[in-house]
Structure 1
């Protein structure tokens, strides 16, 4: 047997307890080696780079699946191995590159030469069943990319954190755009129009994981306060899968925020869909992300923009598993889907204990090169980088070609030997853009305020959705995967040149002229982005 992945200890504040019960059922996913993922990545660059002859010629669902489907040999080899243990697999992805197996802990230990145990997160008390190592037959190394859940641990941070809530009646009013930040303030600050004719071709999808829900009545109250010009019937649709329920009696912080802000900023132009995946079973974002990718990639009529306000530390997983998930996002990119992802809300510390912080903490999926990471800002005269915004350089993913020159320029602003070994300037940097992070929302009828890149992300997603609506109305392709466009048009953003996110007994990163790993290229200016898009 070949040890496929091993970690010395559990990450974060997890502590290993006793052995998991032999009869406990696990649902394992086997990510198989994809047929031609290198061609897929090249196609993403071709169709997403302004000036390329193939720009805007996004691939179809079938074309993408042909590139990522595993070889028949891989499927056969894995199935024969499973069969030898009296197990069978089913496809868990549209292209068949992810196989699902339901089995007991006893069977999993025998199959993977593993030692599944009960681990407890000392911060939250959440218990999870994982192993510190697993193995596969040596002759399957070229066929299997990763198996999970094995050595990947649920993050204690279910989503970008929201804090400092203060409740007041929803009918109370604010008189300033300094704080709290409201949808009309966002429209003013970022030149977001509210009069684009309604149409249904451009759509915006809001991701929801770990049991999040969004309330129809809270949205109605929010719109009555901040978008009274909209019809009272303005609403959102839902897509529920893998046991998800949009529980109207228990609206979530994240679901409420994301839905209320996207609907208020893009209505009446763009319909919004709440894509809710997975039950609230302990905050296992790895599983929910895989299910989300499976659901969206199987959709023949995807929203052109997806907003994801959830993060998890790269260190809680391994390179192979994150690569598998990132390849899923590259499939969406090839199909012309813009995926906006929060950069996180704990600075370079990432929620770790400062005394244990050796490397700056990096967050996934923002660290994936095929999504657009969104950082947070504060203030408006001028905006500055928020001191808790996530950002940095991936541990695993190399810098993509469209970003290397920006990273090289940023590197000139770093003092010599600054935080040596805590980040890798050769790797993917994030965020790519940023927006305000202080917000209001209505939850259970009460107006609340908070902070987080959970707001920044739906703001930028809304901007892109409205731009797509205008592009489609003009007979043009939607923007698709955004990053090559962003780095080629940085003058369409307001550069953020001050602010830092200290942590890990350091100053963290400091905003500077041009792109930086705290504010990205800056905050969007709708009118400039519209011109850059050829409108």
Structure 2
């Protein structure tokens, strides 16, 4: 059994991070060590001793405290556990997966102990989202990418893609855009309205050729769901679109809990993995790239593979204290949601133990995956959000793609959020994406160079309407959280947006309560009294943007065009990694959590003032002067960003 102890100073965590991240702070860039993080939030001595005394008085022996100080563990018979907690345990079976877990309907602890305990497990436990039973809540998360359409797959990949809803790769329903490679593609800027090459990206954001390669500054890119890179595609891309990257250049692969990053078979190459790498390499080279590939092929093949556990698997591997960290009634990996290792059941299973703290995190991590806030238990997502805060204290930057369905999600059968992809009884309430709404990550939307425009003209918010040429519309994910309030660094920008560009839609002003259930029921109630379709007091997304359409890639042995906000994210992340390189070269710290500086200095970004992000039967929001919930503060201006960040301590 495990008892999650109430941690100290959690109310101060946001203040701690702001102190290290705001450009006006005297402590800017003075990041903490992992040991300092553990020490700052460890349970109080009073909490530990009071709970130990209670256990001893109850006849419990052999109590040990975890290395991260957050929980006490002990062995107990069923009779001892029932006596300790004045309850009765049963075995509960998930009607969808068949998984069995011990749990109770309720448990009781003495009043003087309650303030010191966050959670006890096994205890009261709803079964996993993903099932069909009365105690389950179905959910699905998806890749933020890939307009490229079909590609050659193994039978296993085809089975998975047919069963997992949400990916643009599957929703677009068309053949890849193909065309001959332009002459002098490595330098040609005349066709950037048709094909975005590395030269176009460099011209859009004034990015010079890289020169530095610090040994401890590799760009991290997260991959999951059978997304493999292959050298043949990388070599084709380097040959046709770059002038300075040698063939056989490739990333470092970090394989977590049986992950597989590379394939020797071009037909198995993943459009997402190669999109990320082929966008990032021309920006960061000669810096290296590290691919974080998570979970064994068994879990990656599951029809209800949600990527939720993928993020948890990554966080476990780069911060051992997270593996058993307690917050919001969740301790460690959630039973029935997260993978269990060793995975001895399936032939593709990873037979080792869960990897906890085995890798040092890269300074920047780009993640092009995610889903909808309403489909993830609130306690589960808030616990994960706290970990981004703690890693931000250690100088790590997380950048997530904002999504490709505007203010909603894709409608059924492609998505799980009903016939419209939106929330509420009428299916018209905006459906914000996750984990983008977590206030401790930087969220990246997408722009586009429209036909007839050049890299010297202002960009517009990306929008490709359904049927032109894609089955579903592609627009930059954005909106307002139903779980998290507007963070302090964003309050002025959001207030200005509402004051100067007030949307015409009815709204509500409330946040969903902390709970283990998904958000759907709460939001129906929140909006019911007003008829509102978006939340006026939620954290706004995205924070920034970058070009995300008509991207030139080689994938599966074929040249094609690709895109999505997952194209925008590695571009912005690579630029941050370049700036880290310059700071490290002069003895300064990495940038860590970006948002306080970005919102304090929006002049370092290119403001986007054209376009919308349709969804839920509306035009969505509009890109306007200043921050907006379509393209955020705007796209990168590398020289201005570099000058500002180099001026900071």
TM-score range for the pair, normalised by the shorter chain length: 0.7 to 0.9
Q: Tell me the residue number matched to 1:278.
A: 295
Structure 1 residue aligned with 2:437, among 361, 364, 367? 367
| Count of residues in Structure 1 that have an aligned counterpart in Structure 2 | 488
Further displaced range: 291-300 or 168-177: 168-177
1:44 to 4, 11, 17: 17
Partner of 1:263: 281
Unaligned 5+ runs, structure 1: 1-27, 102-109, 120-126
* Residues 40, 64 of structure 1: 8 Å contact kept: no
Q: Deviations over 1:12-66 (max 9, x none)?
A: xxxxxxxxxxxxxxxx999765433223322111000001011110011111122
Helix, strand or coil for the counterpart of 1:339?
Answer: strand
Q: How far did residue 437 of structure 1 move?
A: 0.7
Deviations 1:102-141 (A, max 9, x none): xxxxxxxx9887854344xxxxxxx79799x985525479
What is the CA–CA distance in structure 2 between the aligned matches of 1:135 and 1:89, rounded to whole Å? 25
Identify the match of residue 199 of structure 1 among 214, 222, 232. Answer: 214
Matching residue within 119, 123, 131 for 1:144: 119
**Relative to 1, partners in 2 of residues 1:257 and 1:155: Cα closer, same or farther, differing over 3 Å?**
farther
The question of whether the paired residues in 1 share the 8 Å contact of 2:505 and 2:533 is answered with no
User: Any idea what SS the aligned residue of 1:311 has?
Assistant: strand
Instruction: Give deviations 1:213-271, integer Å, cap 9, x for gaps.
Output: 22233222211221132222422101111121224032222222112221222111x21
Q: Which runs of 5+ in 2 are unaligned?
A: 75-86, 131-137, 150-175, 320-356, 411-416, 450-454, 464-474, 509-531
Secondary structure in structure 2 of the residue aligned to 1:390: coil
Question: CA 1:196/1:291 → structure 2, altered by over 3 Å: closer, same or farther?
Answer: same
Alignment of 1:418 with 2:529, yes or no, is: no
Secondary structure of the residue that 2:487 maps to in structure 1? coil
Q: 2:458 maps to which residue?
A: 382
Partner of 1:496: 608
The answer to whether the Cα contact below 8 Å between 1:170 and 1:221 also exists between their aligned partners in 2 is: no
- Answer yes or no: is 1:220 the counterpart of 2:235: yes
Per-residue deviation, 1:514: 0.2
Deviation at 1:281, TM superposition (A): 4.1
Q: Could you give the per-residue CA deviations for residues 70-119 of structure 1, whole angstroms, max 9, x where no partner exists?
A: 568579979x99xx9x9x9999x973658999xxxxxxxx9887854344
Q: Deviation at 1:492?
A: 0.7
RMSD of aligned Cα (Å) = 3.6
2:40 corresponds to 1:67: yes
Q: Which residue of 1 aligns with 2:573?
A: 461
1:315/1:195 CA distance change after superposition, 3 Å: closer
Aligned partner of residue 403 in structure 1, secondary structure? helix
Secondary structure of 2:207's aligned partner: coil
Q: Which has the larger radius of gyration?
A: 2
What SS does the aligned partner of 2:440 have? coil
Equivalent in the alignment of 1:122:
none
Map of 1:332 onto structure 2: 391
Which sits farther off after the overlay, 347-356 or 517-526? 347-356
Q: Distance in 2 between matches of 1:290 and 1:29?
A: 19
Offset at residue 171 of structure 1 (A)? 5.9
Using the alignment, how far apart are the partners of 2:244 and 2:390 within structure 1? Answer: 38
- Distance, in Å, in 1 between the alignment partners of 2:617 and 2:192 is 34
Q: Who is 1:156 aligned against?
A: 140
Structure 2 Cα separation of the partners of residues 422 and 96 of structure 1: 43
| Contact 1:495–1:523, Cα closer than 8 Å, also in 2 | yes
- 2:315 maps to what in 1? 293
Deviation at 1:348, TM superposition (A): 1.0
With over 3 angstroms needed to count, the CA separation of the structure-2 counterparts of 1:460 and 1:112, relative to structure 1, is farther
Q: 1:191 to 1:76 in 2, by over 3 A?
A: farther
Which has the larger displacement, 393-402 or 33-42? 33-42
2:88 and 2:376 map into 1 onto residues whose CA distance is 21
Shift of residue 170 of structure 1? 8.2
Matches of 2:120 and 2:279, distance apart in 1 = 38
Residue 18 of structure 1 is matched in structure 2 by none
The CA deviation at 1:416 is: 5.1
